[in-house]
Amino acid sequence: MADSNFRGPVNSMGALETNAATASVEPLDGPSLFYQATGYPDIRSGAFSKDGTAPGRQPAFLVGSDFVLLDNIPQARGSTLIAAAQQGTALGSTVSLVTAMIAGNASVAAITIGVPIIPLGTTVATFANIALDFGFATGTTTANSSTVAVVDSTIFRQGQWIVVGGAANTAGSRSLIAQVMTATSSTAIQISPTAATGISNTNIGQANLWGSALLPPATQFGPTAPLANAHAFGGPQEAGFARVYNPREMLTRTISLQGVTALNTAYSCVVSGWDIWGAPMTEVISAAATVTTFMGKKAFKYISSITCGTTLGSNQTVAYGIGDVVGLPIRTDYWEELYATWNGVAMANFSGFVAAVTASATSTTGDVRGTLQLSTSIITGGVATAMSIVASNGTGRVYVTWSGPPTPVILGTPTNQTSMFGVAQSTATT
């Protein structure tokens, strides 16, 4: 296909085509989309023919490649959030994960139980036992009621499909897929179907069906309508023609092992799950003898299982939780590509940043897109220098933007996704 050039300028008027009193807001209004970002022509480069087929005809500077990656309050770190302290009884034995939702904190992302997902490369929904730092909002449900009390109903829209943590059954072990019927007040929404149980400040994520004209689930008197059946990776929400990923839904975390006492023997486990984009992944986490705390390197979004790689003595137990490390949803090779704030302060020290793995990933290598530790100390000349003295505490917000160089943006294509999303995840168990 020949490339065509025209004088411009381009002005997308949308609903501004008429005055405010008679404006017509159409379902496809929204941001314009430009494949492989936007360029600014080198003003020294004219003149050339209007049409052509040769690549590289127009010298330009790449602009408009700033992505908002993360914008939410991570859950406070904790050593038993994924599984209570327990003995690794035998090689290959399964760790007992937490199985029910508990009350959360308003507007704080948190562990959510029984989240339906459709993993990459599959077509059938499965339940992730645990989703880490889940949701773009929180809400309080009441058993057998359609009303969900929320902090701000304006971030929901009528007809939106959502996943409500733990609200599908009375045990709080399955998350509910529901549709927003109305926003009855500034602090409440109505959903259908109703919640099966009451949970205070449970987490709410975006489900995988979009379209303003969709009807609610059918009743004996109502019409049949399509139904969402899983959580949408990255939480994309309608933005006119586009679905835009939601930085409030892109938090991921690394896994921590915590010995109740110093281990008298080495221990390892295999964590299995999926990443932020639904790709299956595994990590072998090993703790040496005498160690009480050990952190994984890979950022998980969903956990399916944890199995023991070695056996611990009868008086030795290990708990499983999360630490202060969050993952990045876009491959990041250098600290300079990021602008990050944590707990209201710009993070100026790169010591907590670990770049993406660029060689083939294994079960013990780092994250394929990179990670950022929210609190850490480094030793410089024998003096400890804190990057941030604030650990993930359930009140601090992390905000990260990515301003990558031109190369990964212009090389990223449907057949070459590595430059933007990293090498393939490892699914090895050794």
The answer to whether residue 382 scores a pLDDT higher than 60 is no
Residue 52 is assigned to a structural domain of this protein: yes
Contact criterion met (CB below 8 Å) for 369 and 358? no
Predicted confidence at residue 221, as pLDDT, reads 58
Using CA atoms of 274, 278, 279, 283 in order, give the dihedral in degrees to the nearest 10.
-10
- Give residue 52's domain range: 1-64
Residue 48 is assigned to a structural domain of this protein: yes
pTM: 0.92
Residue 251 DSSP code: -
Residue 55 is assigned to a structural domain of this protein: yes
Residue 327 is assigned to a structural domain of this protein: no
Task: Convert the pLDDT of each residue in 269-282 to its tens digit.
Answer: 999 999 999 999 99
Query: What is the domain count for the chain?
Result: 1
Find the mean pLDDT for residues 326-347: 93
The answer to whether residue 220 scores a pLDDT higher than 70 is no
The answer to whether residue 90 scores a pLDDT higher than 80 is no
pLDDT band at 25 (very low <50, low <70, confident <90, very high): confident
Rounded CA-CA distance 146/130 in Å is 25
Strands (E), 25-106: 38-41, 51-52, 60-63, 66-72, 78-86
Residue 15 is assigned to a structural domain of this protein: yes
Find the mean pLDDT for residues 352-374: 95
Task: Convert the pLDDT of each residue in 143-153 to its tens digit.
Answer: 999 999 999 99
The answer to whether residue 126 scores a pLDDT higher than 90 is yes
Rounded CA-CA distance 11/9 in Å is 6
Residue 33 is assigned to a structural domain of this protein: yes
Residue 202 is assigned to a structural domain of this protein: no
Residue 187 is assigned to a structural domain of this protein: no
Query: What's CA 44's distance to the chain center, in Å?
Result: 42
Task: Convert the pLDDT of each residue in 57-88 to its tens digit.
Answer: 888 888 877 899 999 999 999 999 999 988 76
Q: Taking all residues of the chain, what is their mean pLDDT, rounded to a whole number?
A: 88
